Amino acid sequence: MSDKMDNYEEEALDCMEEEPTIEKITAVTSFLPYFKNKESKFYKQTDSGLRYYSKVYKFMRTLYDEGFILSIDYSPWMGKVKEYANNPSLLETADITTIQKLLTAIVRSERMFDGMLSYSIKKKLILKMLQRLEKIRLHMQANIGSC
């Protein structure tokens, strides 16, 4: 990952963590059509390593901007990423915090281990997380003012 993204990560993690709002979830789920489109390109292998297309970098920046990347020890979640990728039905009941932890493990591990993000894209884990977030967002919207 680029130095620019590394600096951005440090600045974003300094911000207060809070429960994502409908607006923050909407900003993240706006990438759903991109990840859903079978014609979308996400990354390519070059002589110097794996390179993501600019829209993927924009997605990662949005995750930081909207508070979806947490300041946590993400290493325990690395195994969970593969568990959820191999058993996507687990996402059917995942809450926002679980999705944030999975996204944190995927995005932050990319600094150390090229390929966790591409693995998650290829296994459609990113797509399935975005679809789950969309369901959560719609549920939140339906319950506004129902207290």
Asked if 137 contacts 25 with a C-beta cutoff of 8 angstroms, the reply is: yes
E strand or H helix at 139: helix 125-142
Residue 127 forms part of a structural domain: yes
Q: Does residue 147 fall inside a structural domain?
A: no
Of 111, 117, 109, 8, the closest CA to residue 64 belongs to 8
**Rg of the Cα trace of the chain?**
15
38 within a domain of the structure (yes/no): yes
Q: How many folded domains does the chain comprise?
A: 1
pLDDT tens for residues 4-29? 455 545 545 444 457 899 999 999 99
Please give the pLDDT value at position 16: 44
- 35-73 confidence digits (pLDDT tens): 999 999 999 999 888 899 999 999 999 999 999 999 999
In a domain, 32, yes or no: yes
Domain encompassing residue 80: 3-142
Is 37 among the domain residues?
Answer: yes
